[in-house]
Structure 1
Amino acid sequence: MVEVKLHDIGEGMTEGEIIQYFINVGDRVKDDQPLVEVQTDKMTAELPSPAAGVVKEIIVRPGENVSVGTTLLTIESDQLLQFDPPMKTNQKRPQTIDTTILNKGKIILAAPYTRKIARDLGVNIEEVEGTGPAGRILDEDVLRHVNKKKPQITSAEPTEAVQSGEDVTIPFKGRRKQIAAKMTKSLYTIPHVTHFEEADVTNLLQLTKNLKQEGNYISVAAFFIKAVQLTLKEFPVFNAVLDEENEVIRLKKNYNIGVAVDSEQGLVVPVIHNVENKTIKEINTKMKFLIKKSQENNLTRNDITDGTFTISNVGPLGSIAATPIINYPETALIAFHKAKKRPTVVNDEIVIRSMMNLSMSFDHRVADGARAVAFTNRFVQLIENPSRMLVELM
């Protein structure tokens, strides 16, 4: 009997939620055939069959959260079978993306976590009106639908209070719970120190504006990522992982920059690998591609692994400061906040410049404050004077 267990399908994964099975007990499966869809804190993935045979038992039911190493189902492999049951001719593999096609031809767009909220609240997701892009159903759409369905209690007596009904609850499990576990581990394992700095991004904003007019749509964030990589090259201690067991700090040879993305399923950090070998334009293209995959919940294991440093560009949301939690087991994370025009002294004169705050959290076991200050000073030099960055790339 072959046991199919939940294995680590993502860096640092400890548990996952079973979303759906593509097979039933008694079905014949082929080697490497997708068996079950699992959601972790970062992605949704399929687990393939380790052998050909017949499904004998499904142990863990959809909706349950289980730890890595848990047996999900068992398969009697062909080596043990005395006969060859015929495959069901009418069996079709369910959809593995977050789109359900109904018999009426209607397409329902909803993330797995949103569907889970609907199931837990007893809501038929087909009845929910989506307000997201292309009619996608959001978490709040499900909650709004629940509130609409609640009976409105009124009273014939003016003096009686109108009952407000029960509180609506959101399940704290699946990706949300896994994100919480990872953040807790990072905060209680790493002694965080956050260094704050400001940068004049006037020249950089003008450069991106000029490029846009020429037909080159390159995000400011792409310049940030390249500037981070160039700065890490000078300060490799921040592109490192602390290996306490072997009592060494491992300086990573590649610069794999993670980009924090706020998706409907929660915070995810897709990684742009080998930034040192990419142009700013290539970084921009890859970044947009990964953000799109994040928002569509289509990230693969390769998209989220082997990060060496993380950035969080929260400026577009309006942030002015933060104390970011490091993406364990990395050594540092830098957050970029809202760029705002304000009076600034330049050459003893008060001028209006676009100023941006940044926050850098780092592991105080690995680096000291002086190195963090030197790091941010160098980074600021590069983005305040984009021409210096171009010189570095020659």
Structure 2
Amino acid sequence: MEVKLHDIGEGMTEAHICHYFVKKGDEVKADQPLVEVQTDKMTAEIPAPSSGVVKEIIVREGETIPVGTTVLIIEPIRSMIAKPKQSIVVHSQRVLASPYTRKIAREKGIAIEEIKGTGPSGRIMDNDVYEFMSQQNTKEYEPQKIQETTPQITNKEIHQEVIPFRGRRKQIAHKMSQSLKTIPHCTHFEEIDMTELILLKNSLKGRNLSISITGFLVKALSLALKEYPIFNARLDENNEQIVLEKEHHVGLATDTEEGLIVPIIRNVEKKNVKEIAEEMKVLSKKAINNELTVKDVSGGTFTVSNVGPLHGSIGATPIINHPEVALVSFHKTKKRPVVNDQDEIVVRSIMNISMSFDHRIADGATAVAFTNRFAQLIENPSLMIVELI
């Protein structure tokens, strides 16, 4: 039986073979993890479709292959009873751990089966690996870490460094290139007065209700999208029509060790600010720990990039997450002197935003109207409250 790389994510065309959990001759059970692969969106495991023996491993670790490629071959077992007991090498119970946790164990040179998990149902957590490592003497595994995790290769003769271009980085490059080649990007910039919203946030915090600023921003975008649905759409060129999506599935561009990934907050239009903020925390943690599922990263209709916390950006020309229509970047908030309606100079907290949109589908005037409405809601939080009643 051929075990092939199947489509495990929306728009996936290829994947990088990270690590095999089995070797030739191993006996496996149905649903047992065989190999860990990485796409532009996630790290995932390919399970055994049925019980059998690994007859041949065709693709080597480190290779990038297209969907449909045969990864390994499993030979079915006709009679489990007839086989000698000592020949069975199947794990009696699958080790529960995320791909990211398994990766940490491999980098430290630790057999994950030796670790006792403290998570639900005995699941092995990141801290369990570090605790086991400290007990076994960290220095013992440091050479292994250096050998396996350092991706740079130095050519001593010509004094160059070569960084492997594969895995998620290669997938991201492919998707960004596709977006720029397909979509005529147009970007405009705006300033948003965050002062009143910050005051509201601090007031709620004083009442033991801590909600992130981004939660308010995402909700305000959803309210604006109701009035300007053209930015929550996709272009169906084959049928020559623009499809306006009724549901707001907002993607949050998240920077991780493996590269950029975009988990999705689903149905933002139906959720309050508190629910949005709490879901953001959960998704952010899953993204950092490489625990996102296909559902977590699929079906987005609008994307947000919050680079403000990095404290180094005042503007950008973000690339649209194809096939979406638009993307908004939030940049750092900074106190500035501003002239108010009474011609007085006052200090206000100002945030820059950048909005890229598909010029085939929308025009500049509509994009400006959209960000003006967004700014109105943020600068006057009471209007947002009225919209939610």
TM-score (norm 1): 0.82
* 1:277 is the counterpart of 2:273: no
Out of 180, 184, 197, the residue aligned to residue 191 of structure 1 is 184
CA contact (8 A) 1:187 1:325 kept: yes
Instruction: Give the number of aligned pairs.
Output: 355
Question: 2:317 is matched with which residue?
Answer: 323
Superposed displacement of residue 166, structure 1:
2.7
Letter aligned with residue 324 of structure 2: E
Q: 1:65 to 1:302 in 2, by over 3 A?
A: same
Out of 308, 314, 319, the residue aligned to residue 301 of structure 2 is 308
Q: 1:36 to 1:218 in 2, by over 3 A?
A: same
Superposed displacement of residue 168, structure 1:
2.9
* 1:126 is the counterpart of 2:130: no
TM-score (norm 2): 0.83
Q: 1:17 to 1:56 in 2, by over 3 A?
A: same
Letter aligned with residue 355 of structure 2: M
* 1:27 is the counterpart of 2:26: yes
Q: 1:6 to 1:138 in 2, by over 3 A?
A: closer
The 3-state SS of whatever aligns with 1:291 is: helix
Out of 331, 334, 337, the residue aligned to residue 328 of structure 2 is 334
The 3-state SS of whatever aligns with 1:168 is: strand
After TM superposition, the structure 1 stretch with the greater mean CA deviation from structure 2, 343-352 or 285-294, is 343-352
* 1:254 is the counterpart of 2:253: no
Question: 1:102 is matched with which residue?
Answer: 110
Q: Which runs of 5+ in 2 are unaligned?
A: 116-123, 128-139
CA contact (8 A) 1:324 1:360 kept: yes
Alignment of 1:1-394 (within 5 A): 2-78=1-77, 81=78, 85=83, 88-89=87-88, 91-92=90-91, 96=99, 97=101, 98-100=103-105, 102=110, 126-127=142-143, 142=150, 166-318=159-311, 319-347=313-341, 348-394=343-389
CA contact (8 A) 1:240 1:252 kept: yes
Q: 1:86 to 1:49 in 2, by over 3 A?
A: farther
Runs of 4+ in 1 over 3 A off after TM superposition: 81-96, 107-110
Q: Which runs of 5+ in 1 are unaligned?
A: 111-123, 131-136, 151-162
Identity %: 57
Q: 1:62 to 1:235 in 2, by over 3 A?
A: same
Superposed displacement of residue 370, structure 1:
1.2
Q: 1:226 to 1:389 in 2, by over 3 A?
A: same
Superposed displacement of residue 325, structure 1:
0.2
Superposed displacement of residue 143, structure 1:
7.4
Measured on the aligned residues, the alpha-carbon RMSD in Å equals 3.0
**Deviation per residue, 1:327-353 (Å, 9 max, x gap):** 111110000111111111211222111
How far apart, CA to CA, are the structure 2 residues paired with 1:85 and 1:333? 58
Superposed displacement of residue 210, structure 1:
1.5
Letter aligned with residue 320 of structure 1: I
CA contact (8 A) 1:143 1:168 kept: no
How far apart, CA to CA, are the structure 2 residues paired with 1:263 and 1:323? 21
**Deviation per residue, 1:204-226 (Å, 9 max, x gap):** 11111122222222110000110
CA contact (8 A) 2:2 2:74 kept: yes
